[in-house]
């Protein structure tokens, strides 16, 4: 069980302390934690999520510069502690509309009340945001004015939420929607690495099913795939080709470097490829650049990143970017070549080949409208030059 929770700022200040059991944990444990962080180069993110001090086991996560730290003197499942800290951070961020030191200090009462309901005697209790919102009203201007006028600063409801006895506590009881519809999106991201010779080194697809449900009550949904055998690979699907190619070429002499980049369709997915963007970081030795494209727009951003917005690939020509990079004085040739990052989107298809067969909906009064959509987009798509 957890014995104490500390919320720390990035400067090391204890913003909030919550003792959970009869055994009081001294704040000196935070000083020991920061000594370990400084030994790792003044960065708590480099520390393991679970570390053992001379007196306690310490669990911690970092969210938006705020450190959530929990302590225990007894052995316990570490993932339970980490999962609770993550859930607490998510709930506080949702309640308070953000996460920083000032927001937490301005809402001390709300934070304490939430932690009181989320954990009892060191064990996680109520962590569903749906139930917590019925038990503790989120902060707003009206509630703050009423607390000042009436002198009652408590936001805890006197009525037990109905969802606490439900088999699906994350869903509000007696939920009603004016619309009667459900949408299923099959979203995939392609990660690829292509070396300077154009050889595909890595190509993987990661996907997820996103559901937007506007159904009243507590319906039962069963999603079936037309070819579920594809899921035998579990999460990762390796591909042998990519939908687009990016061919960069650099030629430099006499302090100047000529650039030529061509983009085209390598494998026709059967659907339109749009929202194509190619970006690359100009080397530090480049002092000026003159780049133009026969299709799309080229922008040099403040951080010396060249962004080429192509959109879709026209049928009559292959998009190309050409120009010259001027090198700093004393440098004849370019020795550091950038990595190109490509972005694209393909609506209406999943490159893994996975297809949705049907969605069965039961326990509803009326027949709902069902919508299905597939989308493939670029994840970490890199081309070495």
Give the CA count within 13 Å in the CB-facing half-sphere of 327.
19
pLDDT (average), residues 221-240:
74
Higher pLDDT, 140 or 256: 256
pLDDT digits (tens, 9 = 90+) for 82-96: 999 999 999 999 888
Higher pLDDT, 368 or 365: 368
The secondary structure element, H or E, covering residue 62 is strand 57-63
- CA-nearest of 105, 25, 92, 42 to 63 is 92
27 is written with which tokens? 């704040």
Distance CA 224, CA 228 (A): 8
Higher pLDDT, 248 or 171: 248
Query: If pLDDT is split at 50, 70 and 90, which confidence band does 268 have?
Result: confident
Q: Output phi, psi for 207, to 5 deg.
A: -135, 165
One-character DSSP codes across 21-84? SSSPPPTHHHHHHHHHHHHTTS-GGGS-SEEE-SS-EEEEEEETTEEEEEEESS---HHHHHHH
CB 298 within 8 A of CB 279: no
pLDDT digits (tens, 9 = 90+) for 7-45: 999 888 899 999 998 888 998 999 899 888 877 765 566
**Mean of all residue pLDDT scores within the chain:** 86
Q: What local confidence, expressed as pLDDT, does residue 143 receive?
A: 58
pLDDT (average), residues 95-123:
89
Asked whether the predicted pLDDT for residue 157 surpasses 70, the reply is no
CB 112 within 8 A of CB 18: yes
- CATH code of the region 175-384: 2.60.40.1170
Asked whether the predicted pLDDT for residue 67 surpasses 60, the reply is yes
- To the nearest 10 degrees (0 to 180), the angle between helices 78-96 and 108-118 is 140
- Whole-model pTM: value is 0.66
Q: What local confidence, expressed as pLDDT, does residue 59 receive?
A: 94
CATH class given for the domain over 4-127: alpha beta
pLDDT (average), residues 77-81:
92
Q: Provide the CA 67 distance to its chain's centre, in angstroms.
A: 18
Query: If pLDDT is split at 50, 70 and 90, which confidence band does 340 have?
Result: very high
Distance CA 367, CA 292 (A): 55
Higher pLDDT, 305 or 159: 305
pLDDT (average), residues 108-122:
89
Name the residue ranges covered by the structural domains of the chain.
4-127, 175-384
Q: What DSSP character marks residue 75?
A: -
Q: What local confidence, expressed as pLDDT, does residue 248 receive?
A: 93
Local structure of 200: helix, strand or coil: strand
Asked whether the predicted pLDDT for residue 148 surpasses 70, the reply is no
230 is written with which tokens? 């594809």
- Strand duo 123-124 + 181-194: pairing: unpaired
């Amino acid at each position: 069980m957890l014995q104490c929770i500390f919320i720390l700022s990035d400067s090391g200040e204890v913003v909030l302390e919550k003792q959970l059991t009869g055994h009081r944990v001294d704040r000196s444990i935070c000083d020991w934690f920061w000594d370990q962080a400084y030994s790792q180069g003044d960065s708590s993110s480099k520390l393991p999520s679970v570390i053992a001090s001379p007196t306690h086991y310490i669990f911690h996560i970092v969210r938006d510069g705020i450190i959530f730290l929990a302590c225990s003197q007894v052995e316990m499942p570490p993932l339970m502690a980490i999962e609770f800290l993550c859930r607490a951070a998510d709930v506080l961020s949702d309640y308070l509309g953000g996460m920083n030191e000032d927001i937490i200090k301005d809402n001390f009462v709300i934070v304490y009340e939430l932690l009181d309901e989320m954990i009892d005697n060191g064990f996680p209790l109520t962590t569903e945001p749906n139930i917590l919102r019925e038990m503790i009203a989120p902060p707003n201007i009206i509630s703050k004015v009423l607390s000042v006028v009436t002198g009652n600063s408590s936001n805890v409801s006197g009525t037990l939420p109905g969802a606490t006895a439900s088999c699906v506590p994350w869903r509000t009881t007696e939920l009603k929607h004016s619309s009667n519809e459900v949408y299923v999106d099959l979203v995939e991201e392609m990660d690829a690495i292509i070396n300077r010779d154009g050889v595909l080194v890595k190509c993987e697809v990661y996907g997820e099913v996103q559901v937007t449900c506007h159904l009243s009550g507590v319906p039962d949904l069963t999603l079936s795939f037309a070819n579920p055998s594809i899921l035998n690979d579990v999460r990762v699907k390796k591909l042998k080709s990519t939908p687009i190619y990016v061919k960069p070429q650099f030629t430099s002499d006499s302090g100047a470097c000529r650039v030529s980049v061509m983009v085209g369709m390598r494998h026709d997915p059967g659907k339109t490829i749009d929202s194509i963007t190619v970006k690359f970081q100009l080397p530090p030795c480049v002092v000026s650049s003159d780049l133009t494209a026969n299709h799309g727009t080229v922008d040099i951003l403040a951080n010396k990143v060249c962004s080429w917005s192509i959109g879709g690939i026209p049928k009559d020509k292959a998009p190309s970017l050409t120009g010259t990079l001027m090198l700093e004085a004393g440098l004849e040739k370019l020795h550091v070549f950038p990595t190109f990052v490509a972005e694209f989107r393909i609506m209406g298809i999943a490159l893994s080949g996975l297809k949705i067969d049907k969605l069965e909906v039961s326990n509803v009064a009326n027949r709902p409208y069902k919508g299905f959509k597939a989308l493939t987009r670029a994840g970490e798509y890199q081309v070495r030059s």
